[in-house]
Structure 1
């Protein structure tokens, strides 16, 4: 025979159960490190801008034990279990998102219409996207950002955000790219993600106010480091990497500028050599 509880008894039982859950959870949360919550944009305190150590890994098995404050990772390869481990150690997680190109193996490749696919891009088999077609690109790019947020990232670094510098197959102008990149920064913020500009050095002066940090490859080799100073002057971090040369040589320049610098292999596996902090 089933015994039916009166509504008051049911409410009391639910209240007691909820109270028991809170009793169990509050001490646990009280003992955890105060890290940025999933879906909250990563903060970059200006006072710390010159003191970050960072790691950029998008190939090989992720080494979560690397002594770094900031990790730049691939959103598809990285698992929520890995981001949970890093977040529990108070690491800041940046998601590398390709916003200006697509490859056939991308899980969302079919979402980009044929009309927005241009010439061969930087990556093998990749195609540049027509960044003038915001209406066609925004839905898929927004979901790329949402994937980052869902996996526990608090920031996004925009890769291939410089189609105007390449033979993309489209007449993309300097101003077209500026508009596209600013739209992406606003989109990231609307999804509670901190936006970062990757490379695109000629537009740094114009875009530094729109972005929270910069990621740069080889500014020493290319003689472009001084052009990144608008980020430094604004108290925003610059995460820099060189693939050739000795840290004993290029660190003098980049640490002097206030960058977080490291030497990496072009494969961007776990190996790195860091520059000393100021």
Structure 2
């Protein structure tokens, strides 16, 4: 026999719906990109990522990623004039202490050190109420400087020792909300690593950036992006191109070899 909900239960359900972000629901739908946004497609042409040193605006690459915070609009335009689409790197799931806005992040959402990076700490991605307004400002900076898309980093805190009891559901909720916000700003957005959540995130993201997937045999996790006609941009740090290029072509990935400094140096397929 069915039971009608009590008034208290009904009110609780309404309040829960108001408190949870739209992306948390089972029937959640991605926010479409505002305006005439870049819609990247799979390619095997080698891309470029440079986060250190003077930006090489002459690099022959269809997609170039540079730091959103530290790259002036003139450099973005110079890359675009040569035919490149430009991705902006932003830290999203962690906080780098040297960023100009670092003091805006309250201590309550700042967790443990990111292993190997003494200037970087994990963030409590459950706190959308705190983090989304701050990250929205970063996305607006990218949009204002003319970037075509963004690559939010450290989107897999739930797999790490962050100092917070993060779950996969927490991570999905955060990642979807951030992707929706990027689209509201007219920016394409790629998923950084986080292969285990691709089935739950693929519709929200316009592609993926993956590190060392050939080395760790994780590239198959990103096949749903290519199947949906969305690109995968791969970086290898330890395997030489002759060890991964053939597989990259089979998978329709754009793959490059980089040093961990992420300077202008690259080796291509």
Place the TM-score, normalised by the shorter chain, in its bin: 0.7 to 0.9
- Aligned match of 1:108 in 78, 101, 114? 101
| Contact 1:265-1:271 within 8 A present in 2 as well | yes
3-state DSSP of counterpart to 2:215: helix
Superposed CA deviations along residues 81-130 of structure 1, whole A, max 9, x for unmatched, are 11111122221000111111112211101111111011111433211110
Say if 2:123 is the partner of 1:129: yes
1:8-157 equivalence runs, <5 A: 41-44=37-40, 46=41, 49-122=42-115, 123-157=117-151
1:90-239 equivalence runs, <5 A: 90-122=83-115, 123-239=117-233
Give the TM-score taking structure 1 as reference length.
Answer: 0.82
Give 1 or 2: higher helix fraction: 1
Show structure 2 runs of 5+ residues with no match.
1-34
Q: CA deviation at 1:195?
A: 1.2
Q: Distance in 2 between matches of 1:70 and 1:50?
A: 10
Aligned length in residues? 234
Q: Distance in 2 between matches of 1:130 and 1:51?
A: 36
1:242-257 equivalence runs, <5 A: 242-257=236-251
3-state DSSP of counterpart to 2:119: coil
Q: CA deviation at 1:176?
A: 0.4
Q: Distance in 2 between matches of 1:258 and 1:169?
A: 37
Name the counterpart of 2:254. Answer: 260
Q: CA deviation at 1:52?
A: 3.8
Name segments (4+ residues, structure 1) moved above 6 Å.
none
| Contact 2:69-2:90 within 8 A present in 1 as well | no
Q: CA deviation at 1:40?
A: 5.2
| Contact 1:97-1:157 within 8 A present in 2 as well | yes
3-state DSSP of counterpart to 1:126: strand
Superposed CA deviations along residues 8-43 of structure 1, whole A, max 9, x for unmatched, are xxxxxxxxxxxxxxxxxxxxxxxxxxxxxxx85322
Give the TM-score taking structure 2 as reference length.
Answer: 0.84
Aligned-residue RMSD, C-alpha = 1.2
Q: Distance in 1 between matches of 2:121 and 2:36?
A: 32
Show structure 1 runs of 5+ residues with no match.
1-38
